[in-house]
Structure 1
Amino acid sequence: MRAVCWHGKGDVRVDTVPDPKIQHPRDAVIKITACAICGSDLHLLDGYQPTMESGDILGHENMGEVVEVGSEVTNLRVGDRVVVPFTISCGQCWFCQKGLFSLCDRTNPNAEMAIKAMGHSPAGLFGFSHMLGGYSGGQAEYLRVPMADVGPIKVPDSITDEQALFLSDIFPTGYMAAENAQIQDGDTVAVWGCGPVGQFAIRSALMMGAGRVIAIDEVPERLAMAEAGGAETIDFSKTDVYDELMARTNKRGPDSCIDAVGCEAAGHGAADAVFDKVKAAAFLATDRVHVLRQAIMSCRKGGTISIPGVYVGMGDKLPIGAAMNKGLTFKMGQTHVQAYTKPLLEKIEAGKIDPSFVVTHPASLEDAPEMYKKFRDKKDGVIKVVLRPGQL
């Protein structure tokens, strides 16, 4: 089959690789009909995620048609159309039983590697380094799905691929980010980053009763999409974000701040952002945490910081003293996707949201290397790329 493979920093290729096979009775194999490039994939492209190996198949936003099931998978049949959560979860361990699916104790075969880096191992993830399981991703013609009796959700024919696909990651991620922000009716919520996750966080915050959402970015088309979703906007390349947020909130600050950027924050011209970039280039730090610093300083006293943006290791010079003295609450983590797929699918079916709004660049699987670079460089108005295997 054809698959998008990582071969080193900045080097993504479409290769011919062996087809996946059933390896365990709880496996399924699906024929991919749509997959997407995620902002998290850019951290792999840019070399920030450790323990990648040349030839690893990328992709964790996947959906398709079931073509084979293991003997213990009774909830799926050949021919079912499904979306696959990016988190691989057993459904039986202590964490899964509490609905903390991204913290599953049983699905990372390389748990010891993760324990050395993090103290404990999270769940295995599709297409996201050997520290997190080394599972092949779904930017490919076919995908083996472990724990298929827990993860995949069937999609009705009334829902298009573009509407359903983002149940695999960015819609639940944006929704959980808003939920973690502990929004009360009428609250002001600031969202850093108007990429795909930020766009869903904006719309989710408004669905949860936020009175105002203030979205922060510098890319015109992303700011325009945020405004179309009901947000006020700040272009951080044109104004000081802290000063602008204070002016818009009578100097109190936003009630909640959502960091939908993560480890590669730009912060053009800001002294701390320049410092981060230099340290990362010299391998003296792994994460550029300009946005997180700014959110801590901007959030109102007693407010909440929600972090859906991916961080991979060590950040430098976080203002922990400010966070402590301001009494801030932090909530973060990889998304517990399986807890959200059914309720969010119901919202799509009820017409409360159409996730396809975020798609700007449909493409074939063979176009993936070009699309990765275009997405990374924010060229051609790209916000979300959806890849279709088998199409030219």
Structure 2
Amino acid sequence: MFRFQSIKPLFLHSKGLTTPFPSTLSLKHFSLTSQQHSFTVSYLIDTFGFLPQAALKASKRVSFDTPQKPDSVIAFFNRNGFTHAHINNIVKSIPNILIYNADEKLSPKFQFLRSKGASASDIVRLVNRCPRILTSSLKNNVIPSFELVKRFLQSDQKTIDCVFGSRPFLRYNVGAQNVDMLLDVGVRDSGIGYLFGRRPSILLSTDLREAIDEVKEMGFDPSKINFVIALHAKRALSKSRWDAKVDAFKMWGWSEEMVFDSFRKHPLLMLVSKDKINEIMRFWVVELGWDPLALAEMLNIFGFSLEKRIVPRGLVVRYLIVKGLREKSAKLYTPFSVSEELFLKRFVMCFKEESSQLLKLYQNKKCFQENREDGVESAS
């Protein structure tokens, strides 16, 4: 049985006595409200499979006594490519969408997004991931948010890619304030474009000033791209995840000071996963037998693919050193930094007698792959 709020009684006065008794109008209101409430609950259960308790909770946010409006909203979503599962997700998030006038409230938003290049599937994906866009003001949030992002990403398509990623649509007021804050401290448009393209949630945080001050205190210049990359790293990582990565480097012989100096030189370093740090270190130290401290002078290597670049090239370079075809004192970074074509030309094909063996070694990563998991476990 559903509980309804008690109705405040009207009092009848007779011969000095005060007797509580509901008026006819009050009883009629109670009856209408009760019927409307019950219909909403039944509709949510029958149409969307709500559990009774969830339906009752949702009915506190929306109520209707006929299926006309909710049916029209469902029909609108169906016409625009939304599945029953999509609609169910939207209704559970914002039940009051069922009493919207779809042509007045929803259609203009879809039309705007289509005018900017969003496909039907783009719109379905965006709304399903962030249903709140349906209740956002087109004039005060959706359009200015889109234009704010476009200012820094320069094109509708890049803006669509940003907005339709696995991220919530921008809250314009917060985003605009944070953009102004970054511009005020000297961050360039390209830096803000970097954040929109890779971590727009940073621009939605309410405590961005604290992170900006922290990164500035670390010595980063706001006018340089490294400033926003460092900001990205500091905002993306919790303290525990940051400390875990520092500990991973220390496990392989780096000091804490080396880690922080390396971060200042190359802030992308701390956006590499702890597992990848351990895998690269293990291959470098255990498989190749090289000094882990040497990697502090070639920090870009942590951004390279382990399987496609670091392992095959590392095996070739080790072979050349062992065979005396390359000096141990030669710079290790060069073979890893050049293009594929140049690597093969300078470190494989130029050695006529060894080229077939080097090419086979370069293409064969099976040995490392078989031992990879054991190494990661021992290093973690």
| TM-score above 0.5 | no
More strand by share: 1
**Rg larger for:** 2
> TM-score, normalised on structure 1?
0.23
> TM-score, normalised on structure 2?
0.24
More helix by share: 2
